Chain A
Amino acid sequence: MILSMPDLLSAAPEMLVLVMACVVLMFEAYAVRGQADTAAAVARPRVAGYVLTLATLLAAAGLTAFTASGVTATAFSGMFVDDALADLLKLMTYFAGIAAAIYSRQYLADRALMRGEYFALLLFAVLGMMVMISASHLLTLYLGLELLSLALYAMVALRRDDAVAVEAAMKYFVLGALASGLLLYGMSMLYGLTGTLELGKMAAILAGGVDEPVVLAFGLVFVVAGLGFKLGAAPFHMWVPDIYHGAPTAVTLFIGSAPKLAAFAFVIRLLADGLQPAHGDWQQMLAVMAVLSLAVGNLAAIMQTNIKRMLAYSTIAHMGFLLLGVMTGEVNGYSAALFYVVTYVIMSLGAFGLILHLARAGFEADALDDYKGLNRRAPWLAALMAILMLSMAGLPPFVGFYAKLTVLQALVGAGWIWLAVVAVLFSLVGAYYYLRVVKRLYFDTPHSLEPVTATPGDARMLLSVNGLAVLALGLLPQPLLSLCLQAMRLTYG
C-alpha cells in the first residue's frame, strides 16, 4: 500500500501528538541531564513539559477544527476514518486533556510528581484515544485501545512509593489485560465468521445473514463484555472504584474524563459501524448491563465515605445511562448518548478539578467529611461543587438534566417506556447521595474555619468557567445538543 498525501492529512493531528509526545519525553531526559542539580534548574524543564503539552493539545485542536469538513474521509486503506463524530470527540478529548493538565499542575508539583513522564503519558493516552475514535478497522481499534490502556496503567502507578496506587495499578493492569483478551477472542470469532476486520465490510456481510448464528452470538458476548469492562459498566465494573480511589487524584481526574469519550467512540464504532445488523442481539445485552450499572452504581455510591469512590460508583451509573442511549440502536439514541458522554466529561472534569483544587500539599481532600461547611470557608467553591453535584443528579436547570432528558427521550421514542421508568427511579436513588454532598457543603458546620489556601489562579479560573458552563449549557443547551445531533446525522444519517 502506498500512502498518499490525503491519507496523511486526515491523520495529521495524530502525527502531531505522537511527535510531540516523544519530544516531551526526550526533552525531560536531555534538558535535566546537562544541568546542575539546583531546584530551579530541575523545575524549568518540568514547566517546559507542561507548556509543551498544552501547546500540543491546542495545536492539535486547531488542526482538527481546521480540517473538519463534515465529510467522511477514510485513510490508510480503510483502517482510519475521519468523520464529523471523530472531529467532535477529538476536540472534546483535547479539551479534557488541557483541563486535566491545568487542574493537576499544582497537585503534581506539591507531590513531586511534576515530571516529564506524566505529560508524555498523558499525550500518549490522548493519542491512543484519537486512534480509537478514528478507527474503522478492528486492528486500529485494538491498537488505540492498548496504547491508551498502557499509558493509563503507568499513570496510575505514577506515585510509585505509594502502596495503594501500586496495588490499584496492578489490579487495573491484570483486569485490563483480561478484558483485552476477551475482546480479542470475540474479535477473532467475528473475523472467523465474516472474514474481514474492516468494520464497514463486516456490517455488509452480517446484513446478508450468517450461517452460524451461534458463533455470532458468542463473538458478540465476548466483544460486549470487553466493551463493558472498558466503559466500567456493571457487571464488569469491579476495577472502577479501586482505581479511582487508589490513583493520585490528578490521574483519577484524567481517567474519569477523556477515556470515557474514547470508550464511547469504541462502543459506537464497534456496535453501530460494524455490528449494526446484529442489533437485536447486542441490544438485550446492553439493556441488562445498563440496568445493572444503574442499580449497582447508584446503590453502592450511597454507602461511600470517600468522594473519589463515590464518584467512581456514580460513573458506573452514568455509564448505564449512556448504554441506554446506545441500546436503542437509532441515530437519536446515539446522539443522545454522545451528548450524555460529552456533558458527563465536562461535569466530571469539574468535580475532580475541585477535589484537586481543595487538596493541599500532604493533604488529600477526598473524604466526604472534608467538604463539611465548605460554604462558610469558600462560598464560591461550594457553589461550584453544588452546581456540579446537582447537575450530575440530573436536576434542571443544569446540563445534566438535558443529558438525562435526551436519553430518556430516545428511550421512550424507541418504545422502551419501562426502561425509562427504571432509569428515572434509579436517578432518584442517585439524587440522594449527590444531595448528601450538597448537605455537607451547606448544612454542616466545618471542622475549622480557616479559609481555603489559595491555589494557582489559572486552575481557579478554569474551575469557575467549568462550573458556569454546566449552568450556561443548562440554560441554553441547544448549541451543544444540535452539534451532537449534527455529528451523528452526518456520520450515520
Chain B
Amino acid sequence: MLEGIGILSLTIWVPIVAGVLLLVLGSDDRRADGTRALALIGALLGFAVAIPLWTGFDKTTSAMQFVERTAWIPAFNIHYHLGVDGISMPFVLLNSFTTVLVVLAGWVVIREKVAQYMAAFLIQSGLLNGVFAALDGVLFYVFFEAMLIPLYLIIGVWGGPNRVYAAIKFFLYTLLGSLLMLVAVLYLYFESGGSFDILAWHRLPLSMAAQVLLFVAFFFAFAVKVPMWPVHTWLPDAHTEAPTGGSVVLAAITLKVGAYGFVRFVLPIVPDAAHELAWLMVTLSLVAIVYIGLVALVQSDMKRLIAYSSIAHMGFVTLGFFIFNPLGIEGGLVQMVSHGFVSGALFLCVGVLYDRLHSRQIADYGGVVNTMPKFAAFMMLFAMANAGLPGTSGFIGEFMVILGTVEVNFWWALAAGLTLIFGAAYTLWMYKRVIFGPVANPQVAALKDIDGREFLILALLAVCVLALGVYPLPLTEVMHASVNHLLEHVSHSKLVY
C-alpha cells in the first residue's frame, strides 16, 4: 500500500487519473493504438489495486474494513469516509473486473474519439467504486450522481440511432430519483444532530411517519436504478441504444447500485417502514419477474430481450431483500454478482454479432453455429446461465431466493419459480432462432468466428460463471457476517413515537 493512501482510495482514483491522463494525452485518433494500450493499462491497474480487498478481507467481522476517514467539508461535517463490508466489497471487485472487459470489448469497434470513449469508462469505473465504498451520505450522493455524466456521454456519443432520446431519458429518469434522495439525506442530517455518517443513520431512531417518507424518497432513487417495475422503462431504451461497453456496464454494475442502495440505506435506516411496506416491494418484484418475463418473450431485438430479462432477474434481487431472511438476502446478493457476469456476457455476445452484421434483430440471424462454432458454444453457456441452469451462477442466486421465499409464503415462491420457465423460454428461444437452423442469409454465411481478443473476454466470463455456479462458497462466506449483522439489525424496531 502506498503511504497514506488507502486501498479504497486507490480503487477510486487510479481509474479516474488514468481516464484524465487519456483525455490529456490521447486526443489524436491517429495514434489510437497507444491510447487503447494506455486505457488497458489503466483498467488493469485499477483491477490490480482492488485485489488486496479480496485477499486482505476479514470474513469473520461485519464491521467496515479498509476504512479511511478524513474531514472533507468540515463546515457541514462532511467526511471523505470510505469502507467496505462483505456486502459492498464484491461489487468493487466486480466493477474493476468489468472495466477491463469493457476496455477490451471496445478495442476494435470504437474508431472515433477513442480516448474520450476509454476515458469515460475509466472515470465511470472509479466513480462506481466510490458509490460502493462511500460511507458518508454526501460523498455517496456525489459519486451516485456524478456517475450519470460519463454514462450519459457514452450512450449519447457512441450509441445507436435513437441514442439522444435514450441518453436524455436515462439521465432525467435517474436524476428524478436521486434528487428526492438528496432531500432525504438532508433530513437525516438534521435528525441525527448534524451528521452525514451513514453508519450513524443506521442507529438513528425515527418515527413511523418519517420512516415512510424516507422510504418513499429512497425508493424512488433506488427503484429507478434497479430498475423495478413500473419505473423500468428507461432501461430497454438505454440498453438498446448504448454501445456494447455501455450496455455491459449498465447491466453489470449500475443496476447493482440501486439494489445496493436498498441494503445499505433502506433496510438499515428505515427498517420499520421496510417491514411495513414489504408487501409493496414483494408485489412489484413479482410483477417484474412474471410480467417482464412475458414481455421479454415477445421481443424481436436481442438487446431489448436481454434488457427485459435483466429487469426480471433484478426482481429476484429485490424480492430476496424484502423477505428478511438470510437465504433471501444472500441469494439476492449472489444473484447480483451472477447477473453482473451473465448479462454482461450476453451483451458482449450480442456485441460480437452486432460488430459483424450491424443488426440486433433476431430475424436477421439464423444458423450462426455453422460459421461461428466457438462463439455458439460460449453463447450457449451464457444463455443457460441466464435461464438458471444448475451448475451455472444463475442457478445459485435464484435457487436461494426461491428457497428463502418458500419459508415466508408458498404462493410467492411459486410465482417467483415461474421465472425458471419464462427465463428458459425467452433465452433459449432467442438462442435457437439466432444460432441454430439453416443459414439464414449470405451475410451470416460470411461470418468469421471470434478472434483471440473476443475469445479471451468470453472465456474469462465463462470461467467466472462456472466457478460461481459450482462453488459459490467463497463469495457467500465473504457476505455471511455482514448479512447476518444486517438481518439482526433490521429485526429490531427503531421506532420512536
A contact set with B: CB distance below 8 Å: 375, 379, 383, 390, 395-397, 401-402, 405-406, 408-409, 412-413, 417, 420-421, 424-425, 427-428, 431-432, 435-436, 438-439, 442-443, 476-478, 481-482, 485
Min CB distance A236 to B, Å, is 27
Check B73–A396 contact: CB distance below 8 A.
no
Task: Tell me if B187 counts as interface (CB < 8 A to partner A).
Answer: yes
Task: Note all chain B residues with C-beta closer than 8 A to A395.
Answer: 145-146, 148-149
Which residues of B, 141-156, contact A by the 8 Å Cβ criterion? 141-143, 145-146, 148-149, 152-153, 156
Task: Note all chain B residues with C-beta closer than 8 A to A435.
Answer: 152, 168, 171-172
Check A396–B142 contact: CB distance below 8 A.
yes
Residue of A408, A420, A427, A482 near B74 (CB, 8 A) is A482
B158-202 vs A, Cβ < 8 Å mask (1 yes, 0 no): 000001100110011001100110110011011000000000000
Task: Note all chain A residues with C-beta closer than 8 A to B143.
Answer: 396
Min CB distance B314 to A, Å, is 24
B80-107 vs A, Cβ < 8 Å mask (1 yes, 0 no): 0000000000000000000000000000
Task: Note all chain A residues with C-beta closer than 8 A to B148.
Answer: 395
Question: How many residues on chain B are close to A (CB under 8 Å)?
Answer: 37
Identify the 6 closest CB pairs spanning chains A and B, nearest first.
Answer: A396-B142, A424-B179, A412-B186, A443-B156, A481-B75, A478-B73
A401 vs B76: C-alpha distance when bound (angstroms)? 14
Task: Note all chain B residues with C-beta closer than 8 A to A406.
Answer: 76
Min CB distance B162 to A, Å, is 12
Task: Note all chain B residues with C-beta closer than 8 A to A431.
Answer: 171-172, 175
Task: Tell me if B27 counts as interface (CB < 8 A to partner A).
Answer: yes
Task: Note all chain A residues with C-beta closer than 8 A to B74.
Answer: 478, 482
Task: Note all chain A residues with C-beta closer than 8 A to B466.
Answer: none
Task: Tell me if B238 counts as interface (CB < 8 A to partner A).
Answer: no
Check A420–B186 contact: CB distance below 8 A.
yes
Check B183–A412 contact: CB distance below 8 A.
yes
Task: Tell me if B455 counts as interface (CB < 8 A to partner A).
Answer: no
A379 vs B25: C-alpha distance when bound (angstroms)? 13
Task: Note all chain A residues with C-beta closer than 8 A to B73.
Answer: 402, 477-478, 481
A42 vs B74: C-alpha distance when bound (angstroms)? 54
The residue of chain A having its C-beta at the shortest distance from the C-beta of B139 within the complex is A396
In the complex with contacts A431-B171, A478-B75, A481-B75, A412-B190 CB distance below 8 A: yes
Task: Tell me if B72 counts as interface (CB < 8 A to partner A).
Answer: yes
Min CB distance B86 to A, Å, is 28
A432 vs B168: C-alpha distance when bound (angstroms)? 8
Q: Can you name 20 A-B residue pairings with CB atoms under 8 Å?
A: A383-B23, A395-B146, A396-B143, A396-B145, A396-B146, A401-B142, A405-B138, A408-B182, A412-B183, A420-B183, A421-B180, A421-B183, A424-B179, A424-B180, A428-B176, A432-B172, A435-B152, A435-B168, A442-B153, A442-B157
Min CB distance B481 to A, Å, is 32
Task: Note all chain A residues with C-beta closer than 8 A to B164.
Answer: 439, 443
Check B179–A428 contact: CB distance below 8 A.
yes
A478 vs B152: C-alpha distance when bound (angstroms)? 28
A427 vs B172: C-alpha distance when bound (angstroms)? 11
In the complex with contacts A395-B149, A432-B172, A439-B167, A485-B186 CB distance below 8 A: no
A402 vs B141: C-alpha distance when bound (angstroms)? 11
Check B75–A482 contact: CB distance below 8 A.
yes
Check A409–B167 contact: CB distance below 8 A.
no
A67 vs B477: C-alpha distance when bound (angstroms)? 64
A51 vs B146: C-alpha distance when bound (angstroms)? 41
Residue of B23, B141, B172, B186 near A396 (CB, 8 A) is B141
A485 vs B138: C-alpha distance when bound (angstroms)? 19
A73 vs B98: C-alpha distance when bound (angstroms)? 61
A201 vs B265: C-alpha distance when bound (angstroms)? 51
Task: Note all chain A residues with C-beta closer than 8 A to B23.
Answer: 383
Min CB distance B5 to A, Å, is 16
Check A412–B167 contact: CB distance below 8 A.
no
The residue of chain B having its C-beta at the shortest distance from the C-beta of A383 within the complex is B23
